[in-house]
Chains A and B, each alone.
Chain A
Amino acid sequence: MTKKSNRLSRRHVLAGAAAGAAVSSFGFPAVLRAQAASIKVGILHPVTGPLSYSGTQSRVGAQMAIEEINAAGGIKSMGGAKIEALLADAQSRPDVGAAEVEKLNEAGVAAIIGPYASGIALATTQAAARHGIPHIVDVAVVDQVVTRGLTNTFRFGPGLKKTVDTAIENLIKINDGAGKPARTVMIVHEESAFGSGMATTLNSELPKHGFEILETIKHANPTRDFSNIALRVQARKPDLLIPANYYNEYVLFARALQQQRIVPKAIYSILGGGASSYKFVKEFPQAASYVMDCNHWFDPRKAAALVLKEKTEKRDLFYTYEVFMNYSCVYLLADALERAGRADRAAIIAALASSTFDKHVMPYGPTRFVNGQNEGAQPVTTQVLDKDIKVIYPLAFASGNAVYPMPERRG
C-alpha cells in the first residue's frame, strides 16, 4: 500500500502563488480576498441565578442588535466585518463575572457589554481595566461604577444620583401642577444595595423639598406576604407611596395594596421593579393602573424604538428596559468601531470617549462621556394609563398626560 504524501512540494507552492497572483491581477479581488475577520464582542450578563430574567432579557436585546448590524453588512469601515457575540454568564455573582472577563479577554474580545447589576459591574469593569478592554455598562446604576477613574468604562444609562434627582424633580412638577396635594411619604424598600441605597437617598433628599417621610419599611428578599406592610400603609395614610423593590416583590406589594383598597395620591417608584414592565401591566392591569415610575425607558417618538418593540414581542418576550438598553449599547459600540476603523482596544476606547452617537432608541440625545458617564443619559417618568405604559415627564418626550392624584382602582 502506498501512502500519499500530504506535504506541499516547493513546485506546488510556487504554482499556487503564481495562480493567485494571476487571478488577482485579472480583477476578482473582492471575491477571492478573505472575508474581513469578525469582531469578537463579549456579551456578559447574569443569565442564571436570581437576576436571570433581567440577564436573559439583556442578552436578547444585545443579540437582536448584533443580528441587525451583521445583516446590514457589518462594520463598513472594517470591510464589512461582522460582530461575533461571545456570550458569558456572570451567574448573578461578582466573582464569576470577573472570571468571565478573564475568559473573554483570552478569547480576544474587542469590547464587553453588560453586566446589568451594579455589584457585578464593579468587579467586571475592574477586571476589564486590567487588560484595557473597553467595557460598556448597560444599566448598573450605582455611582461608584464610574467614579473609580477606570478609563475603559463607559456607562450608557444614567447613574443613581441622576435618576433620583430627575425623579424628585419630576415628582415636584407633577405635585405642583396639581396644586401640591401630597406632603407625606412612605417608603417601602427591599434590603439589598438597590433598595437600601434608594431609601437612604430619598430620606435625605425629600425633606429638602418639603415632603415629610412618615415611615421607611425595609423587607427581605424574597418576601411573599405583604399584607402586614399594606396594613401599616393603611394605618399611616401617606399621600405618596414609594416602593423600591425587585419585580416579584413589587408586583406582590402592588396587589396587596389593591386588595386592601389602599389608594394614596400616587404610587411613585424610582427604578421600580414592576412599574415600567409590560409584564406587570398585562398580568395585573388593575394593580398596575396609574402607578408612576421614573426609570430607563425608550423614546416613544422614535420609530426604531417601536419597531424593536414589535420585534421583541414577536419573540414572545416583553419589551423591558434591559432589551432596549442593551440593543442601544451594541449600536453605540458599532458606531465606535466604525469610527475607530479597527478592532484595537485602545482605538475603541478613544472612539467611545469622543462618541456623539444619537441613533439609539433612548430619549437621551447624543452620547457625551465625561469620566465614563454618558452625560446625555436621563430617565423618564412613566405612568400606567389605559393598560399601557406612557411617558408623562419630561414633556418633550411625553406620550400621555399624568393622571394625578390617582383615582380609586376597581378589581
Chain B
Amino acid sequence: MARLGIAGGMIVALAVPYLIRSDFWLGFLITVLLFAAMGMAWNVLGGYAGQFSFGHAAFFGTGAYASAILHIGFGLNPWLGLAAAAVAGGLVGLVIGTLSFRYGLRGSYFALITLAFAEVLRILANTAEFTGGGVGLYVPLKVGVANLQFESKLGYYYVALGFTVLSLGVGWALERSRLGARLMAIRENEDAARALGVDTFMCKLQAIVISGALTGLGGAFYTQYYLYIDPGIAYGPGVSVEILLVPIIGGLGTVFGPLLGSAVLHGAGELARRLVGDAPGLSLIFYGALLVIMVRFLPEGLMGLVWRLSRRRERAANA
C-alpha cells in the first residue's frame, strides 16, 4: 500500500509542472524540494543519530563555493560540479565530525561547534581571494542543459526532484540498514549503544559525512539556480536555521517528514505574504507566530499528527 502511494506520488510529482503551468508556483515547488532534500540531509544526522547541528550552512556553503569555484576557475562542467560539491560537503563533514566526536562533544556542545564552524567558514570566505571575498562569486549566465542552466524552470524542477528523491531514498535506505539501527540506538542512549558494541564514533562520522555530502549537493544546486553566491548567503545562519526547521516541523527521524515540513514551512510563508498584503514585515510576524503554534502543539512534527490521525482512524474502524 505504501509503495503504491509512493509510486502515485512520483507520478504526480513528474506531472505537476504540466498541470500547474505557473512559473511562480513552479519556483515555489523547486524551493520546497530543495529544502526537503537538505532537511532530509540534516535528518540523517539530527533525526536518526540525534546529533543536532545548528551549522549545516558549513556544508551548504562549501558545496555552493566548490561548484562555483571549480566552474569559474577551472572550467569544470556544473553537472560534475554537483558531484564535486557532494565530495566537498562530505569532507567538511569528515573534518567537523572527526574533531567533534573524537573529543566526545554531544548535545548543545555539538550544536554550538557546528555553528562555530559555519561562522569560521563564513569569515574565511569573506577574506579569501579565491572565494571572491565579500563580493562573492558570479556564475556566468550561459543558458544550456550542458551548463546546468535551463531556459525555463522545468529543468530546475526535475533536477530538484531528482535531488529530493535521492535524499529521501538515502533516508529510506538508512531506516532499513544496520547503520540506521545503530544511529537510532545512539540517539536513544549512546552509552548503552556503545556498551552493546556499537562503534559510536564511526557511526556518527558516517552520518555526518552522508549529511554533509547531501547538503553540499543542495548548495551546488542553489548556485546554479541563482548564479550568485556570497559568504552571507552561503554560510549565514539563515540557511542553517531553515534547513533544521524543515525536519523539526515535519517530523524528526522520518523519511517523509522533511518533505512535509518543507511544504508546510514555505507554504505558510507564502500564505502569510498573501494574507497580510503589502504591510512590511507583518507577513514575517504571522509566519513566526504560525511556527510557534506548530512547534507548541505538534512536538512530534507533522508526521506525528499524521500517525495520530491514522491510529485514531484504525481504532474507530476496529471498534
Q: Which residues of A contact B (CB under 8 A)?
A: 47-48, 52, 55-56, 87, 89, 91, 93-95, 98-99, 102-103, 105-106, 119, 122-123, 126, 130-131, 142, 144, 148-150, 190-197, 200, 218
Contact = CB atoms under 8 A, between A and B. Distances in A.
Interface string B109-152: 00000000000000000110000011110101100000000011
B20 to A, nearest CB: 11
A105 B228 contact: no
Contacts of A148: 140-141
Given A48-B280, A193-B134, A197-B134, A94 B24 contact: no
Given A48-B284, A98-B226, A196 B126 contact: yes
A106 B24 contact: yes
A218 B126 CA distance: 10
Nearest to A221: B232
List 10 A-B pairs, minimum CB-CB distance, nearest first. A196-B134, A102-B24, A47-B280, A87-B278, A193-B135, A197-B135, A196-B133, A192-B134, A148-B141, A48-B281
Contacts of B228: 94, 119, 122-123
B24 A105 contact: yes
Given A48-B284, A94-B226, A196-B126, A119 B136 contact: yes
B203 interface: no
Contact of B135 (A48, A94, A196, A218): A196
A99 B230 contact: no
Contacts of B226: 94-95, 98, 122-123
20 contacts: A48-B284, A56-B280, A89-B280, A94-B228, A95-B226, A98-B226, A99-B24, A99-B31, A106-B22, A106-B23, A119-B233, A122-B138, A130-B152, A144-B138, A149-B141, A192-B231, A192-B232, A193-B136, A193-B230, A196-B126
Given A48-B280, A99-B28, A196-B133, A94 B152 contact: no
Given A52-B280, A196-B135, A102 B141 contact: no
B27 A102 contact: yes
A285 to B, nearest CB: 30
Contacts of B141: 126, 148-150
B70 interface: no
A125 to B, nearest CB: 10
Interface of B: 22-24, 26-28, 31, 126-127, 133-136, 138, 140-141, 151-153, 226-228, 230-233, 273, 278, 280-281, 283-284
Contact of B27 (A99, A126, A196): A99
Contacts, number: 88
A150 B138 CA distance: 15
A196 B153 CA distance: 33
B31 A95 contact: yes
A98 B283 CA distance: 18
Nearest to B149: A126
A95 B28 CA distance: 10
Nearest to A195: B134
Given A122-B138, A197-B134, A192 B230 contact: yes
Nearest to A103: B24
Contacts of B153: 130
Contact of A126 (B127, B134, B227, B284): B227
A227 to B, nearest CB: 21
A149 to B, nearest CB: 7
A131 B110 CA distance: 46
A130 B24 CA distance: 12
A244 to B, nearest CB: 11
Contacts of A119: 136, 228, 230, 233
B126 A191 contact: yes
Contacts of A98: 27, 226
Most buried by B among A55, A56, A91: A91
Nearest to B281: A48
Nearest to A91: B284
A94 B64 CA distance: 15
B231 to A, nearest CB: 8
A304 B134 CA distance: 38
A126 B133 CA distance: 23
B233 A94 contact: yes
Contacts of A149: 141
A131 B23 contact: yes
A325 B23 CA distance: 30
Contacts of A126: 141, 227
Contacts of A102: 22-24, 26-27
A89 B232 CA distance: 19
Contacts of A193: 134-136, 230
Given A98-B226, A119-B228, A126-B227, A191 B134 contact: yes
Contacts of A122: 138, 226-228
A95 B77 CA distance: 23
Contacts of B23: 102, 105-106, 130-131
Contacts of A218: 126-127, 134
A335 B135 CA distance: 35
Contacts of A192: 126, 134, 230-232
Contacts of A130: 23, 151-153
A275 to B, nearest CB: 20
Contacts of B24: 99, 102-103, 105-106
A149 B142 CA distance: 10
A147 B293 CA distance: 46
Nearest to B28: A99
B149 to A, nearest CB: 10
A269 B246 CA distance: 43
Which of B127, B134, B226, B281 is packed against the most chain A CB atoms within 10 Å? B134
Given A130-B23, A192-B230, 13 more contacts: A48-B281, A93-B233, A94-B228, A99-B24, A99-B31, A102-B27, A106-B24, A119-B230, A122-B226, A123-B228, A130-B152, A191-B126, A193-B135
Given A98-B27, A99-B27, A99-B31, A200 B133 contact: yes
A95 B230 CA distance: 13
Nearest to A107: B24
Nearest to B238: A93
